[in-house]
Structure 1
Amino acid sequence: MTAILYSFRRCPYAIRARLAIASADVQVELREILLRDKPAAFLEASPSATVPCLVSISGVLDESLDVMTWALGQSDPEGLLQMPEAGHDLIERFDGPFKRALDLTKYAVRHPESDPEATRAEAMEILAGLEDQLTEGWLFGAHPTLADLATLPFVRQFANIDKSRFDSEVTPHVSAWLETFLSSDRLAFVMKKNPVWAEGDAPLLFP
């Protein structure tokens, strides 16, 4: 059975899952869905009703990091899993405090009790803390690791809230790190537009 990946193109969690699957070159059936109109097959498969959701012969994974390690555990030609324990701590920081600050800034209208300037400053402070770590281009040296691919989709989302302001305020190495990702073939590949899946469609294989 070819594993099935339910995905939404712009979701940063789904982006990082697709990045890992593409790096591993582990073929899945990609099913692009709309979050405002979730298909019944997806809702039956995903306990959390969130993307990404991977359905394989071994069961269901609906946490993006689990999907990443599932793919890279089968094939890791770039050595993305070869990172220190600090990489996992960094991913937790981005999945927790950074993502919280991102959401409160991006969706400020939904959170009138929060100050978007304060939460923006929190996110920028977390990013500035990476500056000295990025002197070789990536978080842990001259090559990307799981930590880079797991965090950059969120940095991209945060930067796009106000890209011109971000570019004027971000530190140089963080800027270069993000721009390398934004201009990469890997991001362009996983961000290709695909038709929304419907029951009965022919399988769309990825990568």
Structure 2
Amino acid sequence: MSSPILYTLRQCPYAIRARLGLLLAEINFEQRDIDLRQKPTDMLDISNKGTVPLLVFENGDYIDESLEVMIWALNNNDPHDLLLSQKPHYFPEMLSLIARNDYKYITALEHYKADTRYHNPEAPVYRKLCESFLFDLENRLSQNKYLMADQLSLADYAILPFIRQFSHVERKWFREADYPNLKQWLSDLYQDPTFSKAMTKYPLWESCTNTQATQHNDLTMIS
């Protein structure tokens, strides 16, 4: 049986989320890094949505939502118990926290990034809106080592790429901000070999030429 194919973009937080999910589930997959300015034809033939991540199976089925990729992967194999199987009441809470990230925080984050880039005076307003979510995470991390408990969970890895993105918008401001627990959490996850593996840079996939740059992520390559 062929490994699924993941079309991805290295710095996209949604794509990072999908790669983390597959790697943490120790699922073999073929990684195809793309350029959104020149989307490969084989990707568009599968889904004209044209976004990443896109996980494609041998039978032609596909998943084009990052959280769904993570949940599919971990439902197939969860060697680190990121779904907290012994505490099933946590799963709805994880989904609720991730939903806050995806539907409220990210909206403010997108405005914050754009306003900062173009020196819009509204940037601090949207940074403050982002901080309402960060305050909650900081408080959670004052009670547990990770977002849900003293062990890592789906919530930590699903939210990580977007907190990372926030921390990069105004690096000096973030270094000086009073989020000691959140900064420690970020540092711990950055040191996770799986995160380093997820961020490895590969040549771009070019379906329209004979140059096909792919990376097979198999279990022997996971640190």
- 1:28-54 deviation per Cα after TM superposition (whole angstroms, max 9, x unaligned): 111110111111111112242110001
Contact persistence 2:5–2:32 (CA under 8 A): yes
Aligned to 1:179: 187
Which of 209, 213, 217 aligns to 1:206? It is 217
User: Once the 2 structures are TM-superposed, how far is the Cα of residue 202 of structure 1 from its aligned partner?
Assistant: 6.5
User: Once the 2 structures are TM-superposed, how far is the Cα of residue 86 of structure 1 from its aligned partner?
Assistant: 1.2
User: Once the 2 structures are TM-superposed, how far is the Cα of residue 203 of structure 1 from its aligned partner?
Assistant: 4.7
Which of 101, 104, 108 aligns to 1:94? It is 101
TM-score normalised according to structure 2 size:
0.86
Contact persistence 2:53–2:65 (CA under 8 A): yes
Runs of 4+ in 1 over 2 A off after TM superposition: 109-114, 199-204
- Identify unmatched segments of 5+ residues in structure 1: none
Q: Aligned partners of 1:62 and 1:101: how far apart in 2?
A: 23
User: Once the 2 structures are TM-superposed, how far is the Cα of residue 136 of structure 1 from its aligned partner?
Assistant: 2.4
Contact persistence 2:116–2:169 (CA under 8 A): no
Q: What residue identity is the alignment partner of 1:29? A: E
Q: What residue identity is the alignment partner of 2:82? A: L
Aligned to 1:48: 49
Q: Aligned partners of 1:93 and 1:150: how far apart in 2?
A: 12
Contact persistence 1:104–1:111 (CA under 8 A): no
- Identify unmatched segments of 5+ residues in structure 2: 85-89, 219-223
Contact persistence 1:105–1:119 (CA under 8 A): yes
User: Once the 2 structures are TM-superposed, how far is the Cα of residue 186 of structure 1 from its aligned partner?
Assistant: 1.7
**Which stretch has the larger CA shift, 37-46 or 106-115?**
106-115
Q: Once superposed, what is the RMSD of the aligned Cα atoms?
A: 1.9
TM-score normalised according to structure 1 size:
0.93
Is 1:20 aligned to residue 21 of structure 2? yes
Q: What residue identity is the alignment partner of 2:150? A: A
Aligned to 2:78: 76
Identity of aligned residues (%): 36
Aligned to 2:130: 123
User: Once the 2 structures are TM-superposed, how far is the Cα of residue 188 of structure 1 from its aligned partner?
Assistant: 1.0
Is 1:133 aligned to residue 140 of structure 2? yes
**Which stretch has the larger CA shift, 104-113 or 118-127?**
104-113
**Which stretch has the larger CA shift, 68-77 or 197-206?**
197-206
SS of the equivalent of 2:36 reads: coil
- 1:107-141 deviation per Cα after TM superposition (whole angstroms, max 9, x unaligned): 12788998211000111121011222113220111
Contact persistence 1:13–1:51 (CA under 8 A): yes
Q: Aligned partners of 2:12 and 2:127: how far apart in 1?
A: 20
Contact persistence 2:138–2:181 (CA under 8 A): yes
Q: What residue identity is the alignment partner of 1:188? A: S
